[in-house]
Amino acid sequence: MALQAIAFYLMAAVTLIAGLSVILAKHPVHSVLFLITAFFSAAGLFVLMGAEFLAMLLIVVYVGAVAVLFLFVVMMLDVDFSALRRGFAQYLPIGLVVAGVLAAEMVMVAVSVATTGAASANAVPAASGPDVSNVVTIGSVLYTDYVYVFQGAGLVLLVAMIGAIVLTLRHKPGVKRQNIGAQVGRTPKTGMRIVQIQSGAGVEEEATR
Amino acid sequence: MQNFWTSPGGWTLLAVGQILLVVVVLLVSIAFLLLADRKIWAGVQMRKGPNVVGPFGLLQSFADLIKFVLKELVIPAGADKVVFLLAPVITVTLALVGWAVIPFAPGWVIANLNVGILYLLAMSSLGVYGIIMGGWASNSKYPFLGSLRSAAQMVSYEVSIGFIIVTVILLAGTMNLSEIVTSQDGWFWNWYAFGGGDTWPLIVIMFPIMGMFFISALAETNRPPFDLPEAESELVAGYQVEYSSTPYLLFMLGEYVSIVLMCALITVLFCGGWNIGIPIPGLDTLPPTLVSFIGFLVFSVKVVFWFFMIAMAKAIVPRYRYDQLMRLGWKVFLPMSLGAVVLVAAWRVFMTAGA
């Protein structure tokens, strides 16, 4: 359909230009913003392929959470650009190797799709019916065939989270913390005392909490 | 004629027309909701509120609009000009695109997505970018700090909103907003706020969950009592310090659009959307357009009710401190909503046979 073709070329072009701008942008914050644009239009391409669930997950997880953290870090770091530029030639060979491997893989996939057709190239379990949404399809595969892998991935994330907390949590002594339960549980009995003051005598100091 | 509307050109025209209709109706109603917000606030404080422009001050919002547009646009010298101007545009666009999946009445929805609720979650999680970009591009410490506070707040409350939405998805068995509304038709006890019909004992969980969603929606849209980014009595205006004229107007507009979007979301998820709540005999015999129109009126009444609740919260609740806000989000709402997901899922698995 003509509209889908227009949408595809529009979003593919935006993805490519944004991806190129990520490495060409002078300012790292601009790079991250271009990266977000690339994520966003990639999600649009997912929708065109009929994978709307994956597209929404891509936006919620990568754009809504991961890229926000990227942006936080990049905004708050004081990056010295000239120092970064100096290391460019040093890392050029290994970068070229990685790029070459990626390009070779992409060419191989493209060749296999061109020779054997797209249907055999992506051997995904087909949806059980035309009107079954792909949320249902993914769920029925994820929680049956791949349940151990799925739970294992969840455990890895849990371990990473606990590790991050253990590394950063410091209990400083001498910091006054608010104890909401104790505040709410205060009664007139514990909160105040009635003192009969003799004339000429002061009030004796109670030990402060 | 039938062929024209299904052809690509006709389809595009139709879609653009629908989008324009929704946006125009939405923006005009927001002009009056904004006035209602100020009037309610004034009423609680025994003031009169805006009452000069037009009868009862009805045209106040339009006067404000003209004033904002005619003011001089000031861009700070060190600002990143493109990002600075892009930020409010992004805020207002993201707030508006969320309305694409809201079902106003039977069949009245622009995009009937299968993952409509995830789409809304995605769009509201993107809303944080307008704020971060605006704060950073101003190239000044105060907007930047304000934007960090605001972004941290929005990210925190998104988590509990996500879990609360999961409980409704578990009950409805679908992520399509129209289907969620149709699953709540009939009597009002079928609404998910009251446990949702067959699963009525879940009212013990779902009714408090609705309250938590309401409070999280306040925090997510930076409304009082969680308006820490602005906190006009304590701070400067957070991420929008350097903004003036139309960009500032766009920030405010985006904020109000997302507030009303949250009201619509509570209506759809918990209060039955366009359903009246009492089965009226003979409603089905009326022409479908009339039924849809009645549904739209019911939907609007519910949205206005929730907006009234939000306005009242602004008027009567004192502002939270920042650490209290974070404590509420992470230590109270997150465990409670997670527990609710576990309980509702367990009920669905063990108590509803053949579900």
Same-domain status, B172 and B207: yes
CA A67 to chain centre: 6
- Contacts with B136 from chain A: Cβ below 8 Å: 29, 75
CATH of the domain at A57: 1.20.120.1200
Residue B126 touches partner A, C-beta closer than 8 Å:
yes
Average the pLDDT over each of A23-37, A65-79, B85-99 and give the range with the smallest value: A65-79
Q: Do B327 and A63 touch (CB under 8 A)?
A: no
A137 has pLDDT over 50 = yes
Q: How confident is the model at residue B304 (pLDDT cuts 50, 70, 90)?
A: very high
B132 in A contact zone (CB under 8 Å): yes
DSSP string over A49-91: TT-HHHHHHIIIIIIIIIHHHHHHHHHHS---HHHHHHTHHHH
Residue whose pair of structure tokens reads 């899922």 in the numeric block: B345
d(CA A43, CA B115): 13
Nearest CA in chain A to B126: A64
Instruction: Indicate whether A60 belongs to any domain.
Output: yes
Domain membership of residue B300 (yes or no) is yes
Q: Which helix (H) or strand (E) holds B68?
A: helix B60-70
What is the per-residue burial (b if ≥16 Cβ within 10 Å, else e) of B115-135? bbbbbbbbbbbbbbbbbbbbb
Residue A137 lies in a domain: no
Q: pLDDT (tens digit, 9 = 90+) per residue, B47-98?
A: 988 888 888 888 888 998 999 989 888 888 888 888 898 999 999 999 999 9
Whole-angstrom distance, CA of residue B44 vs CA of residue B315:
6
Shortest distance between the Cα of A6 and any Cα of chain B, in A, equals: 11
Domain-located, residue A6:
yes
pLDDT-derived band at B355, boundaries 50, 70, 90: very low
- Percentage of the residues of chain B whose pLDDT score is greater than 70: 97
Same structural domain for residues B32 and B111?
no
Does the beta-carbon distance from A72 to B148 stay under 8 Å? yes
Do B22 and B87 sit in the same domain of this protein?
no
B169 touches chain A (CB under 8 A): no
Return the residue of B nearest to A61 by Cα.
B122
- Mind listing the pLDDT tens digit for each residue in B143-189? 888 888 888 888 888 889 999 999 999 888 888 888 888 888 878 88
Interchain contact, A36 vs B129, CB within 8 Å? yes
Mean pLDDT value across residues B316-336: 88
Among residues B70, B102, B124, the one where a domain terminates is B70
Total domains in chain B come to 2
Residue A171 belongs to some domain of the structure? no
State which residue of chain B sits closest to A2, comparing Cα positions: B8
Whether residue A3 lies within 8 A of chain B, CB to CB, comes out as yes
The answer to whether position B315 is within a domain reads: yes
Query: B160 and B50 in one domain?
Result: no
Q: How many CB atoms are located within 10 Å of the residue B321 CB?
A: 12
Both B146 and B251 in one domain: the answer is: yes
Is 70 exceeded by the pLDDT of residue A123? Answer: no
Q: Do A60 and B125 touch (CB under 8 A)?
A: yes
Residue B102 lies in a domain: yes
Residue B172: inside a domain: yes
How many Å lie between the alpha carbon of B335 and the closest alpha carbon of chain A?
A: 16
In terms of residue numbers, what domain contains B190?
78-350
Considering the domain architecture, whether residues B185 and B272 belong to the same structural domain is answered as yes
- Number of other residues whose CB lies within 10 A of the CB of residue A49: 10
Give the residue-averaged pLDDT of A27-33. Answer: 87
B276 and B346 belong to one structural domain: yes
Say how many domains are in chain A: 1
Listed residues B70, B89, B110: the one ending a domain:
B70
B155 lies in the same domain as B132: yes
Residue B35 maps to a domain: yes
Among B16, B37, B70, residue at a domain's last position: B70
Report the residue from B12, B119, B136 with minimal CB separation from A56.
B119
CA distances from B38 to B53, B57, B325 (A): 14, 11, 25
Q: Is residue B355 part of a domain?
A: no
Contact A65 B125 (CB under 8 A): yes
Could you tell me if the ipTM is greater than 0.85? no
B8-25 exposure pattern, b = at least 16 Cβ within 10 A, e = fewer: eeeeeeeeeeebeebeee
Residue B124 and residue B51 share a domain:
no
Q: Which range marks the domain in which residue A31 is found?
A: 1-79
Separation between Cα atoms, residue A40 and residue A42, nearest integer Å:
5
Q: What is the pLDDT of residue B151?
A: 85
Measured distance CA(B292)–CA(B298) in Å, rounded? 10
Answer yes or no: is A15 within a domain.
Answer: yes
Same domain, B137 and B201: yes
Chain A residues in contact with B119 by the CB 8 A cut-off are 56
Inter-chain residue contact B121 with A56, CB threshold 8 Å: yes
Please indicate if any CB of chain B lies within 8 Å of the CB of A1.
yes
Site of tokens 């006709």? B10
